[in-house]
Amino acid sequence: MKKSNLTQEGEIPISTSSDEALKLFLEGRDKFELLEYVASAQFFEQANEKDSNFALAYLYRFRSGVGGAKVAQEFLAKAVTLADKVSLGERYLISYYKAQVDGEGAKQKETLDKLLELFPSDKRVQNLAGAYFQFRARDFSTALKYYKRVTELDPTYGPVYNEIGYCNLTLGNFAEAEKAFKEQIKLVPERPNPYDSYAELLARMGRYDESIEQYKKAVEKDPSFAGALAGVGNNYLFKADYETAREYYEKAFDKTPGFGGFGGKFDILDRIASSFIEEGNINEALNIYKRYRDLAKENNRTGRVITSYQSEGFILTESGNPAEGLQRYQMATKVVNQPDTPEAVKNNRTLESMFLECYALLANNDTEAALAKMDECSRMADKRKVPNDSRWLNALNGIVQSKKGNYTQALDHYSQSWPDLPFIKFYMAETYEKMDNHEKVTELYKELKNWYQVDLAIALIRHRIRKVAEK
C-alpha cells in the first residue's frame, strides 16, 4: 500500500492507495483535532469510500465517537482487521486504542512507550502521551512536559495549546491557562473551540459576562457548535439563574447530534440534573436520570444505562439516602453482569461498579462488607495495571481510615487518589475538621465554594461548602 509523502520526517507514515482519500482524511483530522467531531466523521467516511483499506481513517472515525459507542467500535474493528497491512506506527496506534477500549491498561501504556521510542519527533505521538497522562493517569505536570515537547516540535500546532490550557486550569494556574487559550485563538481565529475553551476558563475565574461573550463568539463561528450553548447555561447556573440555565441546556441538547463525550446529549443531561441539585430539587434531578436512561436504552448505550444508575446512587447517597443509593449501585452492577452486555463494557465497567459499591457500603456503615469487596477489587486491580484503579483504592481507604479515626493516614490515602477533584478535596476538608485544623478546613472550603464548574459532586456539596466557608 502506498504511503503518504505529506508526513514530516520522523512522523508516523499514513498508508493509503488514494491521494483523494488522503486529502479528505487530512481535512477530517484537522477538524477532529479542534473537537469538531461530527464534521470530522463525514470526512473520514468519505476517505474510506475512496479507499476501503484506509485503516487510519477508520481509526479516526472510531475516535470521533459519532453515532455512539457501538457504531464507533465497528470502525475500530475495521481498523484492527487492516493492521497487518499498514505502517508499523499505524499498527501501534490501532493497538493503543484497542487496548484502551478493552480495558487493558498495561498493554496501552506499553504501546504508548513503543510509539514514543519509535517516533520521538512526531508531534502527535507526543500529544498522545500528554493526553494519556492528562486523562488516564491524571498526572497533569507530566502531561505538560509532553505538551511542551509538542510546541518545540511545532509551535504552530493549535490543538496542543487547548490541552496546555486545560492542564493549567486544573492545576489552578489560571494565568498560564489564559495565555495558552489566547495563543490558540491567535493560531486558529476562525474556529469555534478556542473561544469555547477560553470561555470555560473565564467562567472558572468568576468572569461570567466575559465568558458568555466568548461562548457566543464560538456559536458565531459555527452555529452547530452546541457545546457553547451549554457553556452559556453554565454561566447562568453560576449566577443562580437556574431556569435560564436550563433553557440554554435544552437548546444545546436539541442542537447536539452526538451522544458521547463532553458536550454530547448525555453530558448535557448531567448538567440539567446538576442545575436541579444546585436549586435544591433532588427529585427533579433523579427524574433527569430516568430521561437519561430512556435515551440510553433507545440508542443501545448499555454503558450509559449503567451510568444512569450510578448517578442516581451518588445523588441518593450524598443527599441522605445511602440505603437507596446502594440499591441503585447494585442495579448498575446487575446491568454490567448481564449476558448481553458487550464484553468491552464489562471489561471497563466491572471494577468501577465494584468500587462504587464499596463506597456505598461505607456510606451505609457496613465497613466489614466494604473491606471484603475492596480486597477483591485490589486483586483485580493488580492484574489490570490501570492508574485509576489504585486511585480508587486510595480514596476508599481514605474513607476507611477516617472512620477509624486515623486521620493522618486518611489524608495520605486521599493525596494518592484524586486530590485535584472537588469531592476528594471535600473529604479532606472533613478530615481536617475532625483534626481541629480549622485553618486548612477554611482554605479548602473557600476553594470549593468558588469552584466554578458544573459537576454532580460539586452540586451536592455546594450548599454545605457555602455554610462552612461563610462562618
Looking at residue 78, what is its pLDDT?
97
- Tell me the three-class secondary structure of 26-72, residue by residue: HHHHHHHHCCCHHHHHHHHHHHHHHCCCCHHHHHHHHHHCCCCHHHH
Q: How many other β-carbons are positioned within 10 Å of the β-carbon of residue 8?
A: 10
User: Phi and psi for 15 in degrees, rounded to 5?
Assistant: -100, 115
CA 254 to chain centre: 22
Query: Which residue is listed with cell 458568555?
Result: 212
CA dist 72 and 405 (Å) reads: 48
CA dist 145 and 371 (Å) reads: 38
Cell numbers at residue 65, please? 465517537
Of the pLDDT bands very low, low, confident and very high (cuts 50, 70, 90), residue 2 is low
Averaged over 215-221, what is the pLDDT?
96
Cell numbers at residue 169, please? 486550569
Of the pLDDT bands very low, low, confident and very high (cuts 50, 70, 90), residue 5 is very low
DSSP 344-385: HHHHHHHHHHHHHHHHHHHHTT-HHHHHHHHHHHHHHHHHH-
Helix, strand or coil, per DSSP, at residue 3: strand
469 versus 425: the higher-pLDDT residue is 425
In this chain, the answer to whether the domains covering 19-121 and 301-341+348-379 adopt an identical fold is yes
Query: Taking the complete model, does pTM exceed 0.75, yes or no?
Result: yes
Averaged over 24-37, what is the pLDDT?
94
CATH of 389-471, one of 1.25.40.10, 3.40.50.300, 3.40.50.2000, 3.40.50.11540: 1.25.40.10
The Cα-based distances of 381 to 95, 352, 374, 408 in angstroms read 21, 10, 10, 25
CA dist 440 and 448 (Å) reads: 12
Instruction: Say which amino acid occupies 259.
Output: F
| pLDDT tens readout for residues 252-305 | 999 987 776 666 899 999 999 999 999 989 999 999 999 999 999 999 899 999
Averaged over 135-155, what is the pLDDT?
96
Partner residues linked to 3 by β-bridges: 15
Looking at residue 257, what is its pLDDT?
77
Averaged over 423-440, what is the pLDDT?
95
Cell numbers at residue 7, please? 508526513
For residue 159, pLDDT beyond 90: yes
CA dist 20 and 411 (Å) reads: 57
Runs of H (alpha helix) within 188-257: 193-204, 208-221, 227-238, 242-255
* CB-CB contact of 211 with 202 (8 Å): yes
CA dist 261 and 272 (Å) reads: 16
Instruction: Say which amino acid occupies 31.
Output: K
Decide yes or no: CATH 2.40.360 for domain 301-341+348-379. no
For residue 1, pLDDT beyond 80: no
Averaged over 178-207, what is the pLDDT?
95
Cell numbers at residue 224, please? 452547530
Looking at residue 463, what is its pLDDT?
62
For residue 4, pLDDT beyond 80: no
CA dist 227 and 265 (Å) reads: 10
CA dist 355 and 398 (Å) reads: 13
325 versus 462: the higher-pLDDT residue is 325
Looking at residue 465, what is its pLDDT?
67
Q: Could you tell me the residue ranges of all domains in the chain?
A: 19-121, 301-341+348-379, 389-471
Longest dimension (CA), the chain: 69
For residue 3, pLDDT beyond 60: no
Averaged over 325-344, what is the pLDDT?
95
Q: Please count the CA atoms within 13 angstroms of the CA of 201 that sit on its side-chain side.
A: 26
Of the pLDDT bands very low, low, confident and very high (cuts 50, 70, 90), residue 470 is low
Closest CA to 64 of 89, 82, 39: 39
CA dist 69 and 52 (Å) reads: 21
Instruction: Say which amino acid occupies 434.
Output: K
Query: Which residue is listed with cell 487559550?
Result: 181
CA dist 422 and 453 (Å) reads: 10
Partner residues linked to 15 by β-bridges: 3
CA dist 318 and 370 (Å) reads: 17
* CB-CB contact of 313 with 332 (8 Å): yes
Of the pLDDT bands very low, low, confident and very high (cuts 50, 70, 90), residue 224 is confident
DSSP 242-254: HHHHHHHHHHHHH
CA dist 95 and 115 (Å) reads: 11
CA dist 114 and 206 (Å) reads: 42
Closest CA to 198 of 153, 168, 239: 168
Considering the chain, what is the average pLDDT of its residues? 93
For residue 146, pLDDT beyond 60: yes
Decide yes or no: CATH 1.25.40.10 for domain 19-121. yes
* CB-CB contact of 198 with 218 (8 Å): no
CA dist 14 and 21 (Å) reads: 11
**What separation, in Å, do the N-terminal and C-terminal C-alpha atoms of the chain show?**
69
